[in-house]
Structure 1
């Protein structure tokens, strides 16, 4: 098998370990610590480096440009895991096979193969195989969650979290990979801590949270990015947010294999470009308008004239009003459902002509009048009078909830039935309707009677069905209903409705629609998968995506690509505060700003309509102007004024005529404004008004900017490193960016939709080119010449020198290539001083690829004149593209411990009575008497037992026999406690350190009382006199030795102890036991 370039391992003499560090490189995907098994793997995704430990747990989320780790503190989760037989199985190991990572858990007996494919700005992760023990049920596959510390802006639906410096994104790449977390596993993935509605959206109450379908979640400690895939190959129960369980499946070819994500990290300003690159590169829906990606096009937020009485008979008038308001779309909303005979099969009612062919004629007429047509839908709502329901028998694919069996026969006239289970009757599903055979039965209430559940208040033969007799044992199912009381479709019906939508748009030329009630597509039990099947299924079958605008009532991570915009609320019933909250959500999710629907009357005052238009201009938001031809007809001359006001505000908004300061003022909800045209589509006068419409202050000039590219210059690129910068135009009407002269450096490309230049430049040099920003119809183009300098690759290497605990073990030097190109001719030189030799003195590595690391062992050898201080110096030299003999040096020292406490003695604290001047315990010439101590039980050189520990009392008398201040020495022995015998000049305490053989350390505290006292108190022993410079004295007083102890780690072996640096403390002996 050919190995991925970034996955090749390094093998040389003296190399004892190979590890990796992240690098922003087009050749980088996943990099191992060693062939086969790993102590750590790095997955690079754009400028994001995802660190995995040997178990496959995410240990870091590093911005490779700045080196900052954005993993939430103290939070860890696997990159991928499985739910098997109802339990989450977290991998315990990850290995690498080429560009595939294999996650496994030997105890559970499963493996997950994840293919890694890196592009310049993002990386895809795809599950290509799952192996589990025979007889087990793999219910679902879980991605992450990735716990991040980024909380400034959270795009829940788009799956991007960002702050001022860095953005991390996760995008599902197919319908079966759902954003969010399964409702069934609330006790995993920090799901219980995730806020249901962090954006405070009215459209997403706790009972129907967008969080259910969102990659990004908000927690008290940070954010999470997550996704999952369910196995629908067998029937299973799916939980709804309200707890109701719906049986789903089986579906063919619907295991968790194929679950796929895109992951990226980078500069926040480049996120739209990366999202565009992902959508195009992974063949996701990519709707455009005027050839530009709708997510960044100003035209996507254009306003509609929403009419409740649009008909074939008033099309001319409707078109005239739309043109007067400067609007291009007429939108039909005769009722809550749209212009349909019934939702489900979606056959046109008579308002637009009554058939697809008639509607096509209607649309053709509209186009001749200069407007396009859009219609309202209710997604997969199935009306009770639709052909999916009537005539009987109703379609078997209507969505059903729980099921139970009749425990008694049910006659055709009975108004009570009995079931063997009540699960299907639980709260959480809309309506109270059962399907028994071909009959629909409404019920009132239920109760348990013995081992049966009695269901009463029956109304038989509903929705055109016939009341019939049903045998005991017949199946009864809860019919899942929509919010308007009709039915819902299962996946088969969802697919058919998607096809019907696409066929209608293709055949009639309708250019806009709304997926209102889109959450219904999830309520058949399939969650975000059902929503994606509806939206993406429609998109995939529409012939012409350019200029087709789709709105939604629910935005989900899986449908984000296929939908043009969300537009929630009806200004009048929805507060302006909520409109602003909605737009904060749109901004966080890279969606066009929208006001929702605003009520418009022909006789409305300018003060009223312009206050709403001012807020829209402040937010740069489009609006659904909801009215009727009748109302506009009735407004007379006022209608003309109102429509012209709309035209002026919308024209100025879409041309970018308002300054940032003016837009901020327009967002002030306490203000009123009037806009007057000065020069058509060029200049206006903006006047602030008070609540009565009287002017406040002087009018302000509003002018459409002369189209120009406002980016002054491009930052330098570095060869081999991810580059990103946006070329910006001052005109929102820019629809295309093109290189019209010269060329970009090889490896970089200009995104025509966003103006972002992105990629990895291949080699140093200078490129001169011209970028032209193309304007929409009637808007001038603008051009600017740029020079982009590609600097030579700046080599980035890390060198870490680690000294051993003791010189018999080797020192190690680790060289990591933290750059994006190979380091060549890496020479690692080592030297030692102070009487120590080192080997090898030179090690050469021919090549160290980006992200790889090499560790060399350095063996120390003691010479005749060796010092206790071992010093080592390493010099690393290497060549990189464009530079030679780059050099890094590191130095380190090792202080060898003393052999035992006796070797550390530095103070004479005990003297012989015949030579008292040889000791000085307290600085005044006083000392312990060896004879007095012996009389009390401490004999020079003898063993002394205390509290289960065996000490050796110092044998020296009149020479150093205690340690004052800090000293490090070896301690031997087995046990769980370290004991110390000592005393002090005055009560004293201090902090010391225990070092174990494994290199770990343990701080400890020790305290001793004053050596002299009137009472023995808690002393281990107490002698009854001391020596002064004149000889024995102070008979009858107490001169004490104290004991203190420290609990040890019983699983470790003590190597050394470092005593406190308190010169007033004296330590005589230590012991372990």
Structure 2
């Protein structure tokens, strides 16, 4: 701190008042320009010679948040400090310029800024404060660009220019908000990334846990790249980002020598099946008939943590698993290491992190450490059961006496509630997947893993019941009164423990990579990867975990799929593919809105598209046609999870559509039509030529329709009106695969020189996790003047979203939002699709 202050003071004395007004100004060869004044405030953020800086949103080169003391720990201050002064540090010359930025509280940060020609590189070289700097925020960088936003990649766009911010290390991230829309009345798009210090212990998750400091994870060295592209397209943006990635040594996975982001093989469809050493040949045959090049076995390991082969599926162990992979590879098919990332437990094999003795690095509730008030006996007389031969969600009845063990703990008045369980807790969102058992909770009693299901209290004790000793094969030992007991952090419905340090999380990562290499598997699925942050170090831990796996595997022809993406892991993940079974809504409605929003997010972030898992065992060929046309419309692969087929009719139908998609047989206009979820299509192949034909529109029947009065609408502005409903479902273009829906009264817009605004209120629905979707149509009557950029105010519970529909509606045209995703569609009076319109964020689809 003293050195930086001294340098800044010397610079101030040397150049006097002129320093305060001195401006940083840089411009890249691609047309991106930035200017920052002597107070650290951005005065220009230009693209192609036009200032794109938002007029109402303040922008800064950096802002900071400091630490505050929190008992024996620390916490991040809720106050964001903006810079007071920014001066060039003496000796900075040429392309590399170091600027000192001063804040209140004697805090200061110095940033090196390098013009690399086609992008700008910014790096923190010093960060000091009497109490310590917890976060350095890059930006915010508010712009007027708002046509589309790539919230993972970190890019905001209009038709003529795009500006992006790219993290250059695992300690700098933007979560899923590296780019977002501005909140104000004037539309815009904003970029912001954060370099977070993780060198101090911080309480997190309501204060129940304390982070494990990562001494190497400070703010110094955090860096970003700022880039811009004129007339942006996916190819132009990826060309520049690829250049940055290679120049900065960022992860660069390839498929057949092509960067994975550009490879046509990046979103290949897959089979999710439980092949084993006796059925692998049959599954390879089915895959070849279908044209599938990826086989994913969704539970091939006998434990999670060390990831050893399931001894039932692969009787020869590693040799058997490797043989399956080698057989598949001989036919151009890659096999998959499916994992739940850092979730740790035993299945059919003991897990060395748990047995014979618990690893002390598992995450634990820090305020639950207490002691036994009644001694526990050793293994003699303690009834147990085999905890290796059941899977999550399936909890067979306990043998008599197994759960008779009772554990009594000293009651801590401040924290005893952390032991108490509501036995009725069931995740209602996923009831359709089958009833789950009462959640377990985990205890560490001097290295022995114990589970309990009920808890009660008296004046001096917490009494735990329905307990099992020696869980997952941990050694049962006698424990005297006074033995320390701690509740462990576990993921209830997967019966898994969570590693609590980055060191342990890194060991799990190395084990996953080693298992993939030893088993010959070239596709890595990291489900549940968001829980890799249980060290308390947020995205740093997630990024470090994924980067460790990447670094321990070949960089060629290994693909990565995860359940959640961060800004940094955009570099590593090949795509995202998520979507699960839904008995209520049928195969076509199965998590439809979630899948739709994912496709939009993937496209806006320049990712290859995937639709997630479908379960076609009991579906019809028409269902297959619907799924594959929907997938082709998004140029997306599909993951099929089903049993070994007895006939290949469905496989051959999938092959037909996959061959057409790979051959580029569909025009952009045809893809846009197939993206409409209420359409059915037929595909034929004759003499190597594909012919696509429209069959009909379809309407689901798994819903309750409410009257228009259930979703009241209001109109604002000249020329607008609400009229009694005169339309039916054909106008809405929604397939109706939801529980309840409501078509509102007519929203009409006529001649208006002012903005056209409507308000739509969602019906009240008190059922937990239920969705009641109000569907509305905004149309311009025949022989009326065009309406430009109409606005709908969407009220959903206590949320209110302003939806700007950025299009011009001509006479006779109408716009509808058929699904609760950020996309609208425009049709003419004959119900012919004219175009799609990207929207800003709206209340997102739920599970």
Please give the per-residue CA displacement for 1:112-137, whole angstroms capped at 9, x wherever unaligned: 1211122222212111222333xx23
Aligned equivalent of 2:768: none
Aligned equivalent of 1:231: 197
Of residues 145, 148, 167, the one that matches 1:150 is 145
Please give the per-residue CA displacement for 1:987-1017, whole angstroms capped at 9, x wherever unaligned: xxxxxxxxxxxxxxxxxxxxxxxxxxxxxxx
The equivalences for 1:373-412 within 5 A come to 373-384=335-346, 386-406=350-370, 409=373, 411-412=375-376
Q: Normalized per residue, which structure has more helix?
A: 2
Of residues 422, 433, 444, the one that matches 2:442 is 433
Contact in 2 for aligned 1:645/1:675 (Cα 8 Å): no
Please give the per-residue CA displacement for 1:23-45, whole angstroms capped at 9, x wherever unaligned: xxxxxxxxx99986544323445
Aligned equivalent of 1:69: 52
Secondary structure of the equivalent of 1:340?
coil
Contact in 2 for aligned 1:422/1:453 (Cα 8 Å): no
Q: Normalized per residue, which structure has more strand?
A: 1
Contact in 1 for aligned 2:420/2:454 (Cα 8 Å): no
Of residues 684, 690, 695, the one that matches 1:676 is 684
Contact in 2 for aligned 1:157/1:216 (Cα 8 Å): yes
The equivalences for 1:1032-1043 within 5 A come to none
Aligned equivalent of 1:578: 594
Aligned equivalent of 1:519: 530
Secondary structure of the equivalent of 2:105?
coil
1:567 to 2:577 alignment:
yes
Aligned equivalent of 2:612: 596
Aligned equivalent of 1:279: 245
Deviation at 1:477, TM superposition (A): 4.8
Change (3 A) 1:37 1:410: farther
TM-score after normalising by structure 1: 0.53
Secondary structure of the equivalent of 2:366?
strand
Aligned equivalent of 1:653: 661
Change (3 A) 1:346 1:106: closer
Please give the per-residue CA displacement for 1:448-475, whole angstroms capped at 9, x wherever unaligned: 999x895655836352354654666947
d(CA) in 2 for partners of 1:410 and 1:519? 38
d(CA) in 2 for partners of 1:256 and 1:598? 43
TM-score after normalising by structure 2: 0.66
The equivalences for 1:344-383 within 5 A come to 344-350=305-311, 351-352=313-314, 354-383=316-345
Of residues 686, 691, 694, the one that matches 1:685 is 691
Deviation at 1:442, TM superposition (A): 4.6
The equivalences for 1:478-627 within 5 A come to 478-481=488-491, 483-490=493-500, 491-543=502-554, 545-570=555-580, 572=587, 574-601=590-617, 604-627=619-642
Aligned equivalent of 1:294: 260
Change (3 A) 1:73 1:460: same
d(CA) in 2 for partners of 1:84 and 1:53? 27
Change (3 A) 1:124 1:433: same
Deviation at 1:177, TM superposition (A): 1.4
1:246 to 2:243 alignment:
no
Please give the per-residue CA displacement for 1:912-965, whole angstroms capped at 9, x wherever unaligned: xxxxxxxxxxxxxxxxxxxxxxxxxxxxxxxxxxxxxxxxxxxxxxxxxxxxxx
d(CA) in 2 for partners of 1:481 and 1:578? 23
Change (3 A) 1:563 1:166: same
d(CA) in 1 for partners of 2:420 and 2:222? 32
Contact in 1 for aligned 2:43/2:53 (Cα 8 Å): no
Secondary structure of the equivalent of 1:249?
coil
Deviation at 1:295, TM superposition (A): 0.9
1:418 to 2:423 alignment:
no
Aligned equivalent of 2:32: 48
Aligned equivalent of 2:218: 255
How big is the alpha-carbon RMSD for the aligned residues of Structure 1 and Structure 2? 3.3
Q: Which has the larger radius of gyration?
A: 1
Of residues 461, 467, 478, the one that matches 1:459 is 467
The equivalences for 1:600-749 within 5 A come to 600-601=616-617, 604-629=619-644, 632-633=645-646, 636=647, 639=648, 641-680=649-688, 683-690=689-696
Aligned equivalent of 2:284: 319
Contact in 2 for aligned 1:480/1:524 (Cα 8 Å): no
Secondary structure of the equivalent of 1:283?
coil
Change (3 A) 1:362 1:627: same
Change (3 A) 1:587 1:348: same
Deviation at 1:642, TM superposition (A): 2.2
Deviation at 1:389, TM superposition (A): 4.5
Aligned equivalent of 1:8: none
Deviation at 1:653, TM superposition (A): 0.8
Of residues 457, 476, 479, the one that matches 2:486 is 476
d(CA) in 2 for partners of 1:60 and 1:449? 66
Contact in 2 for aligned 1:402/1:478 (Cα 8 Å): no
Contact in 2 for aligned 1:460/1:467 (Cα 8 Å): no
Change (3 A) 1:145 1:311: same
Aligned equivalent of 2:9: none
d(CA) in 2 for partners of 1:692 and 1:81? 54
Deviation at 1:482, TM superposition (A): 6.0
d(CA) in 2 for partners of 1:372 and 1:83? 48
Aligned equivalent of 2:125: 128
Aligned equivalent of 2:64: 81
d(CA) in 1 for partners of 2:154 and 2:492? 28
Contact in 2 for aligned 1:405/1:473 (Cα 8 Å): no
Change (3 A) 1:625 1:294: same
d(CA) in 1 for partners of 2:463 and 2:58? 49
Gaps of 5+ in 2: 1-13, 69-75, 377-405, 426-438, 582-586, 700-847
Change (3 A) 1:570 1:291: same
Contact in 2 for aligned 1:431/1:481 (Cα 8 Å): no
d(CA) in 1 for partners of 2:447 and 2:334? 43
1:169 to 2:178 alignment:
no
1:116 to 2:113 alignment:
yes
Gaps of 5+ in 1: 1-17, 19-31, 181-210, 694-1073
d(CA) in 2 for partners of 1:272 and 1:355? 42
Secondary structure of the equivalent of 2:327?
helix
Change (3 A) 1:424 1:536: farther
d(CA) in 2 for partners of 1:431 and 1:89? 44
Contact in 2 for aligned 1:405/1:420 (Cα 8 Å): no
Deviation at 1:178, TM superposition (A): 2.4
Deviation at 1:345, TM superposition (A): 0.9
d(CA) in 2 for partners of 1:482 and 1:530? 22
d(CA) in 1 for partners of 2:346 and 2:257? 41
d(CA) in 1 for partners of 2:493 and 2:158? 39
Please give the per-residue CA displacement for 1:806-832, whole angstroms capped at 9, x wherever unaligned: xxxxxxxxxxxxxxxxxxxxxxxxxxx
Please give the per-residue CA displacement for 1:782-836, whole angstroms capped at 9, x wherever unaligned: xxxxxxxxxxxxxxxxxxxxxxxxxxxxxxxxxxxxxxxxxxxxxxxxxxxxxxx
Contact in 2 for aligned 1:37/1:96 (Cα 8 Å): no
Please give the per-residue CA displacement for 1:126-159, whole angstroms capped at 9, x wherever unaligned: 11222333xx233333322223333321111111
Change (3 A) 1:149 1:456: farther
Contact in 2 for aligned 1:102/1:111 (Cα 8 Å): no
